Structure 1
């Protein structure tokens, strides 16, 4: 049978549980409603805006390089969490709010005690403000009334709901006043003690902890004696509470307080302005600069330019790059940022200037990679007309023929223009575009052969990055000015763990991307050539001092002597130096060698003195071969003098040397024979020089010995085939092709006709508009009066070769 009594009891027992569940539901609903109400109030009354901080630009090690006033013209530098030392935390919390870590923004006990003291008039009148309430007041300054005090409490509760205790303490330390326009512990530490908060002594830390309560009375630099007395009073109180070791307290009590306000950190002003513009609103920007090299570079540049003022030279810019990371470690935009008379605020690192001859190493590197040249190859250095462009060397002289390495070492213009004409201007400018040359990329369609002589625009930053690629086996990467997020996080972790944070020397993530713009072989050969310079500060070579750094370097001087460049590098650093005037005014003394290079070596000696002098080694892609000493080509049949030269297998030209030609001449040497007319006897074989026509013409014009082949056998009746002739090409050297000439008829002005022909040519024939003018010797200068309008000039030689040019003639 069913026991109904027990069943009834069993049924009745769950009833209290159901009631508890309903009660809990009601309570949960009430809590949820309260939370929704609070959330609604939080949305309706959002937290005040974050404080406006003074932008800070830091060095790579975290020290402050440059500081700016915030938008409200206050020094409010953001104190980062790792900078809040345990000593600073203890001093502030004990002094301001002992129960800070335990209350929820408002301390009820302190409020009751304060209310009692204020109502009864016993003890010191206080407001029972917690650190969180003080943050609320500092974020929204208001008149001190009971109503505003309640609002502070509500804001304190809201702050506690949004931020951790560490973040609230950080906000407090960033907002506390220190008199005048100085706010925050970090601002006070840097402006008065010239150290960040985490580098302060205990005495200095306690000093900064006591001032915010009386910032108008305890003014550092004015009331030091009163501040010291108040500091020591608090130090003794801390000692009684055993907050710090007794010895630390004793040392702090004995520490003097001779402090005054200092100027804010103002290193690297150009880079600081650049980074603050790039990262607007960011309170702390960590650059790649190193404080020591930056300070050295600024001092050396300023002092060096001071000595140049009497020469009419007022400015300079410097860039120092770590080759392994491409991090910029020193950035000097001008000699003196504050020098308004010389436009000191212009950033010379970014200014677009004429690069002079500084692009030549890159040109020769590209030519090496395409097999156009090798170091010992000889190039003509004679007056040359490149389709209307007639370049000159810097010293107005000519060498006849020079090796590639000599042409680069002495920065000769004509060989460089010849190599560029063979390589192609578009090929060259495309590579410069790949290397980050923005102005060149923009102007590329309009650039010509003058580009290699400085006829384009470039910046010191672009050129230094290009040379850093040569230092790094041809690998180009853009320069790094600010540490990226990965590096920032790594350094933050090291700071929090107590390790010394510094950027890694081989951090691959510092280089966003890289590309090979020249082969390692070409980069090595160019470096080897540029390192052969004689150091201006050590005429016997760098070996004379084991402590001075070995470097490769190149100079450049722009047209009109407006820009002087010197850029050098070794395995570790690339240093670029520009000297001139931002106004564009030239100076007779302004040359890369004489003016920019001394500054370059001052910088290198300061940065890399007593360095290991490790140097590049030849890559396996390079090999040696014998070449003719007269031409630099693979030895031919008549090349007794030979030397060793580097070359790139399967890339470098294998053309054989023909600097001498064997000819059949009569016994007396008066006539020469071709194979068709050589007699059975009475002739001999003789070697004759076989220079390029333009080189031969130059030698003859200079009165130098130049042996030509004897005249061809006049009895030979066969028609010669010019295509079978091994002589040099025929070229008209005057007038210029595609040029326009304006002649004064009343003065009976004439045009000069001249040509460059091979050594076998004795006679040439001139034509004007396909009408025969006259015959002349190969070296004779012919003058004539051309007709107006379009004119065709033709020249034929006695070996059947012919060349034409077009020009325009107008009359006054």
Structure 2
């Protein structure tokens, strides 16, 4: 029988609990406040702040930013028993009721901090029923949140006049510091204003604020809340503040991150505040000097090679420059990359064993199945080494190597490197992609050079800094895990090594080193004036690029620590005669390296163990053959690089007087001698002949020889007109069709035929012009050894 009261008590408590749970379900806790999105630097300082959806500055104060001083001042002033009550202070209620009923003392509402939070979450008219509702809500809040979370909510909601809410907003807008960096006097100032936000307005009523601040400082000192000396020093601190604009550094990346994480109040980026500020200032000042040249915009990306974190991000010269479309983001804009992809091409070709640094490549006018590239300066060099072709950014050798490597193999690697435009348009891309014919962004290109700096290892760039997980504020959703993974960097590995998560080995360390070695040479035309003598410049490997029509200028450089990408141009796409990578982009690149990497160690990349040296012939860059007296040391990749022997000279049987050459079939029994002659490619021989460059040419073949020598691979190659092409000629102009070819060294003459009708005989290197009749044409070229080549074209005549 004695147990019945206990059972009844437990049953009653159970029913009460069910009732409370039912009420909690029916009247849920008010949603968390809508905060102003904040983007932080890696050190936690605020880079950029946005108004919240209700157009208020309500920046979320994190728990770690609530200092003991702020906590003590707020609790002492607002609710001394905050730590002990359950949302409502019964003693304070009785005292307030007595004062209000008998009219003694100051009229108060006995509001606790929790009750104020309830009122700030759901603002209502100050009536008795609403007061009772606040009390119920306060108890409900106490059941859901701990005291620190309730205090955090209070400090995020308290008003500071106008559209400023929350202690962090006030701290940033008036003192330009976060709450955890404020002095005692500044902290007390922010603690006293919420009760009188209209009368104590910082920047307008500073004298009144100062008097009230000092009054409370004395009260706090008398209560022993703070040391007496600290209070004395705080009383002497002047109050000369005004409202400042919200921080607006890194506007493009901030906008990008806020859009990526729309439900996250505070986003900690990977940016370094000092580097970001310097990069923005340098870019803006530099572009201002170029405006008279018709260049209005620039973009800059700075990446830490070790962590792959972006440390500076400048999307345009001036975000607020609407006339030059400054709100466009030049880091992600797809533009023509010019020649910036050439280093990657040569590195891939090295990995395929196609080339080595000292290999000679033809640099002569060449027709690649209808595509005729030209060098930037319209000049050809005959033959150049690969390292010179890259250092001088020659177009024709690059197209030749791409033709040898294959466009599909090249674009597949670019797709693996994250080139989205290449991925979308791969089937349509051709040889012109190496000269800017494929679209790319500064972000993609810069990360490609980070890959070179990281021994050929590719991984995505990182825009968020690693930091320990912070609990979400009450009611705030966690970021989407899949989206978060794309931007947040995991903790650095022990020993400070390069991050390798999700990496992809695009090129070998050996090819990456050889490419870097070439790009770091100072004997090149795109070195800015005076840069070589600069004692401040860190050692840098870099490459420039200029798009067709001079619409885009690029310069991307790297050392062991950083990779910096620079783009200059106009978002409208308008070109400028001065817009070249060497003339306008590289000076800014070097300025950035001087400013951002001034104290970086000047150590350099070491050759990987997979590399080795060998002697090669200076005339070809190949392994020396029997007739290679001049040799030079060259790097090569063992078991990968070609072991082809040099044949830059070949032995020829010539008559005693040197007038004729013999083949094995027609050589006499005696009366001839053996001599060495240059074994040039037909296009190189044709170029030297056309330019009047002297070289030792093979004598004509024995005219008495009746043997038709050589297979179809030695037949003339018609370089103009292009096969299967339609040519449109104006009937009222004297337009003509060009006939040209390249032939074997032994060929002296060629015979041209049109629709199987003889046209004329010409020298092998001679350019022939004629006026064709409209309709289909069969163009034939036969050399003086009986070998023949045909192409089919169509001629249309316009009236």
Closer, same or farther: CA 537–678 of 1 in aligned 2, 3 Å = closer
Which residue pairs with 1:743 in the alignment? 729
Contact 1:460 1:576 in 2 (8 A): yes
Which residue pairs with 2:469 in the alignment? 489
Which residue pairs with 1:235 in the alignment? 217
Cα distance in 2 for residues equivalent to 1:621 and 1:166: 59
The worse-fitting range, judged by mean Cα deviation, of 776-785 and 585-594 is 776-785
In the alignment, does 2:165 pair up with 1:183? yes
- Deviation of 1:488 after TM superposition, in Å, equals 4.0
Which residue pairs with 1:319 in the alignment? 301
Contact 2:686 2:742 in 1 (8 A): yes
In the alignment, does 2:702 pair up with 1:702? no
Gaps of 5+ in 1: 1-18, 493-501
- Deviation of 1:681 after TM superposition, in Å, equals 2.5
Larger radius of gyration: 1
Q: Secondary structure at the match of 2:654?
A: strand
Q: Secondary structure at the match of 1:101?
A: coil
Deviation sequence 1:362-410 (CA, Å, 0-9, x none): 1111111101111011111111111111111111111111111111111
Q: 2:450 aligns with which of 449, 459, 468?
A: 468
Which residue pairs with 1:267 in the alignment? 249
The worse-fitting range, judged by mean Cα deviation, of 690-699 and 743-752 is 743-752
Mapping of residues 180-579 of structure 1, within 5 Å:
180-483=162-465, 487-489=467-469, 513-534=502-523, 544=533, 547-579=536-568
Cα distance in 2 for residues equivalent to 1:510 and 1:760: 58
In the alignment, does 2:638 pair up with 1:641? no
Which residue pairs with 2:486 in the alignment? none
- Deviation of 1:765 after TM superposition, in Å, equals 2.9
Which residue pairs with 1:657 in the alignment? 646
Cα distance in 1 for residues equivalent to 2:725 and 2:587: 42
Which residue pairs with 1:763 in the alignment? 749
Q: Secondary structure at the match of 1:579?
A: strand
In the alignment, does 2:793 pair up with 1:804? no
Deviation sequence 1:754-811 (CA, Å, 0-9, x none): 2111221122233334454444331233333434333232323234443332222122
Cα distance in 1 for residues equivalent to 2:403 and 2:468: 47
Which residue pairs with 1:782 in the alignment? 768
Q: Secondary structure at the match of 1:252?
A: helix
Gaps of 5+ in 2: 473-488
Deviation sequence 1:605-661 (CA, Å, 0-9, x none): 111113211111111111111111011111111111110111111111111111111
Q: Secondary structure at the match of 1:372?
A: coil
In the alignment, does 2:710 pair up with 1:722? yes
Figure out how many residues of one structure are paired with residues of the other and give that number: 779
Contact 2:330 2:442 in 1 (8 A): yes
Closer, same or farther: CA 545–72 of 1 in aligned 2, 3 Å = same
Mapping of residues 78-97 of structure 1, within 5 Å:
78-97=60-79
- Deviation of 1:546 after TM superposition, in Å, equals 5.1
Closer, same or farther: CA 183–490 of 1 in aligned 2, 3 Å = closer
Cα distance in 1 for residues equivalent to 2:736 and 2:95: 111
RMSD, matched Cα: 2.0
Cα distance in 2 for residues equivalent to 1:662 and 1:750: 41
In the alignment, does 2:19 pair up with 1:31? no
Report the TM-score when normalising by structure 1.
0.93
Which residue pairs with 2:485 in the alignment? none
Q: Secondary structure at the match of 1:32?
A: helix
The worse-fitting range, judged by mean Cα deviation, of 777-786 and 421-430 is 777-786
- Deviation of 1:478 after TM superposition, in Å, equals 1.0
Q: Secondary structure at the match of 2:7?
A: helix
Q: Secondary structure at the match of 1:722?
A: coil
Which residue pairs with 1:686 in the alignment? 675
The worse-fitting range, judged by mean Cα deviation, of 760-769 and 181-190 is 760-769
In the alignment, does 2:99 pair up with 1:108? no
Which residue pairs with 2:719 in the alignment? 733
Q: Secondary structure at the match of 1:395?
A: coil
Cα distance in 1 for residues equivalent to 2:584 and 2:576: 11
Cα distance in 2 for residues equivalent to 1:730 and 1:644: 36
Deviation sequence 1:331-365 (CA, Å, 0-9, x none): 00000000010000000011111101101111111
Cα distance in 2 for residues equivalent to 1:581 and 1:703: 43
Cα distance in 2 for residues equivalent to 1:474 and 1:113: 75
Mapping of residues 7-18 of structure 1, within 5 Å:
none
Closer, same or farther: CA 265–324 of 1 in aligned 2, 3 Å = same
